[in-house]
Amino acid sequence: MLGAELMILLESCPLAALIVNAAGVVTFANAEARALFGAADTLHGTGITDLLPGWPLDNPEGSSVLLSARAGEARICDIRVLPCPGSDEPLTLVWIDADGQEKSAGLAAREANLRLRYVIEMLPQAVCVFDAKDRYVLWNQKYADLYADIAEYLTPGIPFEEILKISLAGGSIQEVVPDQDVWLSERMAKFRQPVSQEERQMKDGRWLRYDDRRTPDGGAIGMRIDISSLKQREEWLRQLFDANPMPMLLCDGDSLAILEANHAALQFYGYERSVLLAKAVFDMHAEGQGEEFAARLRNLDGDCEARTVWRQQTAEGREHHVLIYVRLLYDGGDRRLLLTIADVSDRVLAEAEANRLAHHDILTGLPNRMQFYKALDEAFKTEATEGAVIVYCLDLDGFKPVNDTFGHAAGDEVLKLAGERLRSAAGGHLVARLGGDEFAILVKTEDQADSGLADRCISALNPPFRIKGLSISIGVSIGIAAASVATGDRETLVQAADRALYRAKSAGRNTWRMAEDEIMPLAVTVR
């Protein structure tokens, strides 16, 4: 039997208590136990297995058991089984804590909430958390500091839209808001999207990035990031890009469509911005070069230093020679190419002119001695076994008196005009000035030599030259030598022509002579 003191203690206990005998029958149930199981007066005589289906318990010292409480309600309860003190027979005391799981769940929720608060306080951004009805749940101190004007109104459960209205009504909204109703409608529409990102400039000049994302339960997490320094760097880069005196283009790495062009590029190409931005970077290349340039860009896997000189055309059709430096960039997952264009037209033209001057006579514009001998060497570099190379050495007759009598300026003019007449008489063959009053003509033929070439040259120089009202007459002596393409050589050929020239001068000048046969590997009929 239970003692009276124990009965009083069990009745006043806030936990449900049962006394079970050795046969598994309930012999006592306190008020909490009767209320838990929905018994009006007593549970005496009820089998313990009817109340606790899992009886006997695996861990009598403490178990969580799912049991059917009043009205069929299923509840998880903490149960502890102890020997009943002060009884004459073996009885068991069963404690049932019906609120144990709820208390544990509440404690776990509080701990999770504290951890979440700790996490968002550690974040460098301003963060706020909303429930499925767009009400504030949590926010960190950075968020409260960022919106100090509405911080006093921030309380858990207050709707986001109400906070916006408070800010608008108080005139403390940090953004520039031309129309409050339109702004509020657009702001809430964006906020309710699954993902919303936008950048806004504040009245004080700062820039904020709003990043709102919906959670699976319908709530939302908002982040407010101060991107003022990023915007400042972007502006500096923009100014550097636009103010750069070198033409610069930013293009898509795949399509090669022009995305941006600086002021120097617009001036260089001569297009309006909208027109240039509708083009691809290879559209300005000269015919035949665009496809090659595009292929190189698409295969680019790193920065490219300019080594190839490309030809490009402007809107007016003017051609430029350019070097193009390429930098490979990535904008998120997008491949970008930054092109810097260097106009090297003047350099190319200067190099071409320097090359021309190196191989041409400055006074007459004819190929010089170096170019003549280079062409003569090339004439013998052939796989042909037939044909001949013919050299005409020409020396002006009576030229020295021109310089002595009329001066060097008149002599230079005579040399220029003589060069023009010889080039006309040569019929497309190479005519060179070797120096002084010496000229040469190179002929490469697979047939007989032009029998009239020497005579045409003599005839061309017969008419007097009119120099500043003066009539100046000169003549020309010509030595001719021919050699086989297969077996001849430059030195032998030139020496033979030179000896023939002296023979022509000895014969009375203003005539021509063919090299003697004994030094010629091939006889060529000249007339």
Active site residues: 437
CB-based contacts of 211: which residues, under 8 Å, 6+ apart? 196, 197, 222, 223, 224, 225
CB-based contacts of 185: which residues, under 8 Å, 6+ apart? none
Q: How far apart are CA 462 and CA 238, in angstroms?
A: 71
Give the helix/strand (H/E) hosting 320.
strand 319-331
Q: How far apart are CA 410 and CA 286, in angstroms?
A: 45
CB-based contacts of 327: which residues, under 8 Å, 6+ apart? 303, 337, 338, 340
Q: How far apart are CA 349 and CA 318, in angstroms?
A: 14
Radius of gyration of the chain (CA): 53
Per-residue tokens: 144: 């409260």
Structural contact between residues 244 and 262, judged by C-beta atoms closer than 8 angstroms: yes
Q: How far apart are CA 62 and CA 184, in angstroms?
A: 56
- Cα angle 5-8-11, degrees, rounded to a multiple of 5: 150
Q: What are phi and psi of 96, to 5 degrees?
A: -125, 115
Structural contact between residues 488 and 522, judged by C-beta atoms closer than 8 angstroms: yes
Per-residue tokens: 361: 């006579």
- β pairing state of 195-201 and 470-472: unpaired
Encoded amino acid at 357, one letter? L
Structural contact between residues 10 and 84, judged by C-beta atoms closer than 8 angstroms: no
Structural contact between residues 76 and 101, judged by C-beta atoms closer than 8 angstroms: yes
Nearest Cα neighbor of 380 from 243, 298, 488, 286 is: 488
Q: How far apart are CA 54 and CA 66, in angstroms?
A: 9
Residues facing 107 on adjacent strands: none
Omega before 464 within 30 of 0, i.e. cis: no
Tell me 309's DSSP state.
P
Collapse the DSSP code of 523 into the 3-class scheme (helix H, G, I; strand E, B; otherwise coil) and give the result. Answer: coil
Nearest 10 degrees: Cα torsion 216, 220, 226, 227? 40
